[in-house]
Amino acid sequence: MDGGCRDTSFIRKIGFPVFSSFHTPRDIVGAWVPEEFDAPISIGGVIVRSGDFVLGDCDGIVRIPAEMVEDIITESERVIATESLVRKAILGGIDPKEAYVRYGKF
């Protein structure tokens, strides 16, 4: 995520998500040596600790601290349920503005 990646097209083609700062033809053999295990790291200026969740898609990457994961999952499920109700209401013919007023989300 905070460095280069080679063979990006191939990696994506086989369905493995990859996020990098740049593309490079360079291999890591001889250039990358682990110094610690289970230690905090900095990625793009963000500290990531063991147990944190790091999730990404084409819109970006987010870090969820381990101690917040359960709360984030609960809130995400609530938001998804509300968005589903809004979608069904609009597809059922309700004006989008009315759906927003009714559910408070869009």
- Residue 12 among known ligand-binding residues: no
Contacts of 57 (CB under 8 A, 6+ apart): 17
Cβ 85 vs Cβ 74: under 8 Å: no
Rounded distance between C-alpha atoms, residue 49 and residue 74, angstroms: 22
- Residue 87 among known ligand-binding residues: no
Rounded distance between C-alpha atoms, residue 39 and residue 50, angstroms: 7
Binding residues: 6-7
Instruction: Point out the annotated binding site for Mg(2+).
Output: 7
As annotated, the binding site for substrate includes 6
